[in-house]
Amino acid sequence: MNIKIVCVGKLKEKYFKQGIAEYAKRLSKFCKFQIVEVPDEKAPEKLSDAEIEKVKEIEGERILSKIKDKEYVYALAILGKERTSENFAEEIKELTTYGTSDITFVIGGSLGLSPAVLKRANTQISFGRFTMPHQLMRLVLTEQIYRAFMINAGAPYHK
């Protein structure tokens, strides 16, 4: 089983890197886990709607270049479907049981995901209506993926 997170931008904060590295190490007994970073498009603070869409389009092309046809794609989107940890674990179990061995999660940049990326996604997932820095979201997502595997293994971790 392969789990991949495709995300926009570089992770600079040491504390996020350490947390993600810990969960990646724990995940190694369940799956091949990787994070693929694509460059963010430089943009000034004040952008017109057209400029925002252009930035999302460029970042979206970079994201899509890292996704293969056979991958099942979760797009992280504030308006996506919220799940409990148990529901999420069940989804992962069902996907792997029925032949999907490549699951990809996509975290967009500060302006969000392009329509093309949202269209390519098999589903959208939300971690609530809060806006979070995408660096923090990487850590939260990695922990939740680990939690799903632990739930599916019947381990007490998630209590």
Which strands, in side-by-side order, build the sheet including 123-126? 32-38, 2-8, 102-107, 72-82, 123-126
- Total domains, the chain: 1
Total Cβ atoms within 10 A of residue 70? 9
Is 128 annotated as belonging to a binding site? no
Q: In angstroms, what CA-CA distances link 99 with 1, 48, 71, 72?
A: 10, 44, 11, 11
Residue 64 lies in a domain: yes
Residue 6 covered by a domain? yes
Q: Tens digits of per-residue pLDDT, 30-85? A: 999 999 999 999 988 899 999 999 999 999 999 999 999 999 999 999 999 999 99
Consult the annotation and say whether 27 binds a ligand: no
Domain that holds residue 74: 2-38+51-152
Which position has the token pair 């993926």?
145
Residue 46 domain-assigned (yes or no): no
- CATH number of residue 16's parent domain: 3.40.1280.10
Residue 157 included in any domain: no
Q: Is residue 142 included in any domain, yes or no?
A: yes
Query: What is residue 157's predicted lDDT score, i.e. its pLDDT?
Result: 80
Per-residue pLDDT reduced to its tens digit, 107-130: 999 999 999 999 999 999 999 988
Kindly report the pTM of this predicted structure.
0.96
Residues 6+ apart with CB under 8 A from 86: 151
